[in-house]
């Protein structure tokens, strides 16, 4: 499933800045950054459960906000992108 993950972490304190870095690193492991706090992810149901568990251990739900949107498929029918294209397409094979 294709997901859009967005977050807003309170960075007024040093602990918040650490949480922000940790959430960003976790999201980078699961998807592609499309804006500063917005990621596109392609996850199977098991990966989504794992991601949700891990990110909820990081954020402070009394101060931070995390949103996970399931994108309608086929995504290309519902998505318009203007400006710089993404670095890679998450649905294409990745050759390392």
Query: What tens digit of pLDDT does each residue of 15-59 get?
Result: 999 999 999 999 999 999 999 999 999 999 999 999 999 999 999
- State mean pLDDT over 57-73: 93
- The span from the CA of 88 to the CA of 96, in Å, is 13
- The span from the CA of 8 to the CA of 59, in Å, is 10
Residue 46 lies inside a defined structural domain of this protein? yes
Report the candidate in 88, 82, 71, 80 with the shortest Cα–Cα distance to residue 4: 71
- State mean pLDDT over 70-96: 70
Residue 6 lies inside a defined structural domain of this protein? yes
Residue 91 lies inside a defined structural domain of this protein? no
> Per-residue pLDDT for 82 more than 70?
yes
Domain count of the fold of the chain: 1
Residue 96 lies inside a defined structural domain of this protein? no
């Amino acid at each position: 499933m294709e997901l859009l993950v967005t977050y807003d972490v309170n960075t007024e304190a040093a602990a918040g800045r650490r949480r922000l870095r940790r959430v960003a690193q976790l999201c980078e492991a699961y998807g592609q950054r499309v804006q500063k706090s917005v990621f596109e992810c392609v996850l199977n149901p098991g990966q989504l459960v794992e991601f949700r568990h891990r990110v909820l251990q990081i954020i402070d739900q009394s101060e931070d906000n995390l949103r996970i949107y399931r994108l309608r498929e086929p995504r290309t029918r519902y998505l318009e992108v203007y400006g710089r294209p993404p670095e890679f397409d998450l649905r294409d094979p990745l050759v390392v």
